[in-house]
Chain A
Amino acid sequence: MMLLRQTVSRLITTLITLFGVAVIVFVVIRVVPGNPIAMMLPPGASETDIERLKTLYGLDKSIFEQFVIWFGNVLHGDFGTSISTRQPVLSLVLDRLPATLELSIMALVMAVAIGGALAVLGTRFRGRKTEAGIDVANGIGLSIPDFLWGLALILLFGVLWPVFQISGRVSPRLELPFTNQFYLFESLARLRFDITADLLSHMFMPALALALPLAAIISQLLKQSLKETVNLDYSVLARTKGYSETKVILSEALPNSILPTLTLVGVQFTFLIGGTVIIERLFSYEGLGNMAIDAVINRDLPLIQGIVILFAILFTFVNLAVDMTYAFLNPKLRHA
């Protein structure tokens, strides 16, 4: 009963949030200078041509009217037609979403792996040079933004030591037998490991660029929490039972230190998804973010709206997933 009420109230909050996002993005992109008609017509087009196109795309009506029409269509699942590509926004966006999701999740996995390993290592060798070194690495990771990491990685793994692909999502020469856009998952499912390797080679640098700042945050926060937990009574008791320090950290302290870190990782993950916009551009990765920049340059209003709404839905789901994981990991909440 409690759970049902929580779910319903959560759903209502989510819908209100999404509506707010829709209103804001709709108004903002119509108020800022620049309009899509100017991008479509050659210079020197006549006033009548401009008026005709405006009427065609409904841009002659007031913003309020435009919003009502657009929002009514959205409720029916129709996000309109992209002005620059003349294709339905929904299918355009859904085609690109898997690429961005794969990149973000890969980045998250890398961040958790790197950050987690550094935190455990720093706790194991706390108060020694190893920990000091990790603190320095965390400081560097935190103070350099993801796109600069992207550039640095291109220099390192694209130019000086060219072992990874620097551009695109998959090599054009490869024949793709895929039925959906989740290339990485499908290549694994079809046991086409040659394609998996190619995808990973393309994904490595953008994912690492996105992962490094988050890895530093995870490492710092988790280490702090672990260092407190390894001195608690149950960790001391485990030592008297004969367990090694590493085992105490991994099986006694870690499960209790993950919770405080998790909330922040959830928030930071949404920033990471936001970071894909620039990173995808930098690595010409064919995802949502890259498309968003094109859409903004072309003043493709319906497409921008579609992408922003989708990002908003994505953020909401990430937060929901974090809350659910939290409840799952904490026995006290699970039983409540």
Chain B
Amino acid sequence: MSGFLEIRGLSARLAGTGQRLLRSVDISLPAGSVRGLVGESGAGKSMIGKAVLGVLPKAVEVIEGEILLDGQDLQKVSPAERRRLIGAKAALIPQDPLTALNPSRRIGPQITDRLVDILGWTKARAATRALEVLAEVSIPEPERIMRLYPHELSGGMRQRILIASAFAAEPKLIVADEPTTALDVTVQKQILKLISELQARHGTALLFVTHDLGVVSKVCDTLSVLYAGKVVEDTTVERFFAAPQHGYSSALLAATPRHTDPSSSLKPVPREVLDAVAAEVAASDAAWRPSGGARG
């Protein structure tokens, strides 16, 4: 079955160097389902999200692979066409609500701008839609809020607004890049529940980038475990929590603190597990030949 988002053999490197950052990543995300991308810092989980949304930093270049969004290969269309496609079909829920809203623009236009400028809606229709989605994320007095500036709102409120903004255009895919990491613990739970509800109601495919396995168990259907830019395990959430296949996955799971047993000390991922997975990455690197080189 082909998913709404298909990533096939995606490799990226630090521009101008041989340093590989993504190693032949395959990810399939059917319409309406939720996939978690987990891994430690620097494993490349955020980078995959950025690649999908076409906002990789200039220092990162894709060397091979395909990103198919609704069947269209984003690497093969013109930059302008890619922007339009992504703007119309996908959206981002960013990590830090405090920096993701433009401080010098009012809330309203920051929700409606995509609808009007990219999708060509009328201003009136976009404003109506903005009020709808703001109500959907339980923002009180949405009409008043739309006239405010970001600094007049709390972090939790701003994240709700960003979620509303992401869902406003009814995208078929949303990339949530650690959307609760910057929030207060009490707010985290509400926001997570909100994203989950909206995703289910709108039938949106969701790529959920996180380092929190607890979050994955609540929100996701499937997950990809990443290490050094390589998918080491691609499985469903039930199977993962019942019996992780990869050694690194089990160690990751064992390292997750549990509130059911607060007395147990935190377990780091054991040295030999890290060595094993690093060796595995090195072995796959040695076997890897860039497809571009093979063609030439």
Contacts and interface: CB of A to CB of B under 8 A. Distances in A.
Asked if A and B are interacting partners, one says yes
A243 B117 contact: yes
Among B80, B91, B100, the most chain A Cβ lie within 10 Å of the Cβ of: B100
A242 B86 contact: yes
B149 A244 contact: no
B99 A234 contact: yes
B88 A242 contact: yes
A244 B54 CA distance: 12
A9 interface: no
Interface in B99-140: 99-105, 113-114, 117-118
Contact of B100 (A233, A243, A247, A331): A233
Interface residues of B, number: 32
A127 B57 CA distance: 13
A256 B57 CA distance: 21
A72 interface: no
B102 A236 contact: no
A335 B152 contact: yes
A195 to B, nearest CB: 40
A239 interface: yes
A240 B99 contact: no
Contact of B92 (A240, A244, A330, A332): A240
A240 B151 contact: no
Given A237-B92, A239-B54, A335-B152, A244 B83 contact: yes
Contacts of A139: none
Contacts of B151: 331-332
Interface in A56-90: none
A241 B118 CA distance: 8
A331 B114 contact: no
Interface residues on A, range: 20 to 34
B55 A240 contact: yes
A241 B113 contact: yes
Interface in A213-251: 231-234, 236-244, 247
A239 B51 CA distance: 12
B218 interface: no
B54 A331 contact: no
A242 B99 CA distance: 19
Contact of A242 (B102, B118, B149): B118
A260 interface: no
A331 B149 contact: yes
B155 interface: no
Contacts of B58: 127
Contacts of A240: 53-55, 86-87, 90-92
Given A332-B151, A335-B152, A243 B83 contact: yes
A131 interface: no
A241 B114 contact: yes
A81 B173 CA distance: 79
B229 interface: no
A255 B100 contact: no
A256 B99 CA distance: 12
B73 interface: no
A331 B96 contact: no
B80 A244 contact: yes
A252 interface: yes
A255 B104 CA distance: 7
A237 B83 contact: no
B80 A243 contact: no
B84 interface: yes
Contacts of B179: none
Nearest to B117: A243
Contacts of A332: 103, 149, 151
A281 B89 CA distance: 63
Interface string A318-330: 0000000000011
Nearest to A241: B114
Interface string A242-274: 111001000010011000000000000000000
Interface of B: 53-55, 57-58, 80, 83-84, 86-88, 90-92, 94-96, 99-105, 113-114, 117-118, 149, 151-152, 162
16 contacts: A234-B99, A237-B92, A238-B113, A239-B54, A240-B55, A240-B86, A241-B91, A241-B114, A241-B118, A243-B117, A256-B103, A330-B104, A332-B103, A332-B149, A335-B149, A335-B152
Given A233-B94, A242-B83, 4 more contacts: A233-B99, A241-B118, A242-B117, A243-B118
